[in-house]
Amino acid sequence: MTVDRQHQGHDDRTRDVPAWARNRELPRDTKSGFLKPRRCELYVAGHTPHVIQVKVCLRQEPLAGKLRSVDGNVITVEFGDDVEQFRNHEPERLLEIVGIGGTVRVFSSILQGWTNHVWSVSPAADPWLPCNNEPLTATTPEALAERIRTHGGFLVPGAEVLRDLRSADG
């Protein structure tokens, strides 16, 4: 499904989106028409933002900047005279939603566009980890502790965790 954003009431930010970023067409959010977040099980900087990480970061004072460029997964943001580079695993979403020249707010490890959309970012100089799509298969306390160690966190329904904790108790 290709979305004509100009006719959805969005301004035309797509003209500056390179072909490699436009090639990811599905799946899309049915309300906004934007790409849905990539399925990645890593909750480390540059990958899936964890709700707790987002809440903590959004309490901090942000730096306001402009999205200057995106090259692969390297995102360049201009803060007046300063320029910083970050990495993210879904730069095509950032390009589509924010657009080159779009305003962003950067909180320590979270980048927020003009909407409520957020991206976890890591410094571009840091070593990069490829996405990991290995699903969570167990919610025992031991399995969740291991998941934090290997993936930086997890999201799982609370009822499922409580069920496994109760069965672990006897």
Domain boundaries, the chain: 5-123, 134-170
- CA-closest candidate to residue 106, choices 30, 166, 23, 45: 45
Residue that wins the pLDDT comparison between 132 and 89: 89
Q: Are 113 and 104 in contact (CB under 8 A)?
A: yes
Q: Where do the DSSP E strands lie in the chain?
A: 63-71, 74-79, 82-87, 103-107, 110-112, 118-120, 122-123
What's the whole-number average pLDDT of the chain? 81
Percent of residues, the chain, with pLDDT higher than 90: 36
pLDDT at 77: 98
Instruction: State pLDDT tens for residues 31-65.
Output: 888 888 877 888 889 999 988 889 998 899 999 99
| Model pLDDT for residues 80-114, shown as the tens digit of each residue | 999 999 999 999 889 989 999 999 999 989 999 87
Instruction: Give residue 170's pLDDT.
Output: 62
Q: Give me the pLDDT at residue 16, please.
A: 54
